[in-house]
Amino acid sequence: MSQVVLQCLQYYGAAAGTVAALIVSLDLGRKWTGWGFVIFVTSSIALVAWGFLDDKAEGIGLQNVALFAINCVGVWRYLLRRKSPH
């Protein structure tokens, strides 16, 4: 795998995760939080890909498999579910 592609996956995953964390932490409402989780999902996908394509990043890949599942729950809860959780 090209080092450029691996670096793009790594840095996109880190940047997207940071932006998503900021959006979720601002607590701007269900819709914004849901979109923050969508960004988290893309971050997890990039970091899973990077983790399993780069010999030295498997731990990040495994961690992001779990985070991907958690983030999908967030998307479902804040964007797809019709009933408010409260």
Mean confidence (pLDDT) of the chain: 95
- Positive/negative CA dihedral, 46, 11, 67, 18: negative
Confidence of residue 82 (pLDDT cuts 50, 70, 90): confident
- 63-67 mean pLDDT: 98
What is the share, in percent, of the chain residues with pLDDT greater than 90?
92
Q: What pLDDT score does 83 carry?
A: 74
Within its chain, how far is the Cα of 32 from the centroid? 15
Q: Which two tokens stand for residue 63?
A: 């961690």
- 34-53 mean pLDDT: 98
